[in-house]
A and B are shown apart, each in its own frame.
Chain A
């Protein structure tokens, strides 16, 4: 299995508080992604990174920011959490963006915003 660690795995917080989720990889893959998964929606891309300090928005980026200061770490921040951001968040990595680029996923972080 790909070396991907997400932290925290579970978090309960209150509306309006800041939250940061961390994704750490030991594979030295260039590309990293944050997805959220909600019932009936499959996985939706929030942000992705194609290198240190290089990030871009995905399908559902509003209310989220990301940072990547090192190859191995990709942080997802909710500046002011809302109940609509209650979800399971998955980090993924890929070695390449070539057509055959396989995504490797972490175990997920379950966030509950009260």
Chain B
């Protein structure tokens, strides 16, 4: 099972772009990279998923270099409501992916 390493916490201000990097040195060929967001007292919520290069949706972008040993979640122009914990997961099957401790993002006014 591929383990991931993320910063424990990050601070940002409203309107800034936030980049959270995840390291996954032992990622396997079939593994996908998935990011979830969790607010207090709620279950995690899917944000974005990718295999290689760049993926963009309405809320975030995911950048994956060619070696796939890391990935970066980019949140454009964050707001106070983006304060949450962000988890990076790597795996090929939901029951073979591990949630790490995540990155606690705090957005300040």
Contacts and interface: CB of A to CB of B under 8 A. Distances in A.
Interface of A: 31, 33, 35, 40-45, 48, 56, 58-59, 90, 92, 94, 97, 99-108
Contacts of A102: 34, 46, 49
Nearest to B8: A40
B57 interface: no
Given A40-B101, A105-B45, A108-B43, A99 B92 contact: yes
Interface in B62-109: 87, 92-95, 98-102
Nearest to A99: B32
Interface residues of B, number: 22
Contacts of B99: 35, 42-44
Contacts of B87: 42-43
Contact of B49 (A45, A58, A100): A100
Tell me the interface secondary structure of chain B in the complex: loop
Given A92-B43, A107-B42, 4 more contacts: A31-B94, A42-B101, A45-B95, A105-B45
Given A43-B99, A99-B30, A33 B44 contact: no
Contact of A106 (B43, B93, B100): B43
Nearest to B100: A42
B95 A48 contact: yes
A111 B89 CA distance: 26
Nearest to A42: B99
Nearest to A58: B95
Contacts of A56: 95
A107 B42 CA distance: 5
B95 A105 contact: no
A33 B97 CA distance: 12
B94 A41 contact: no
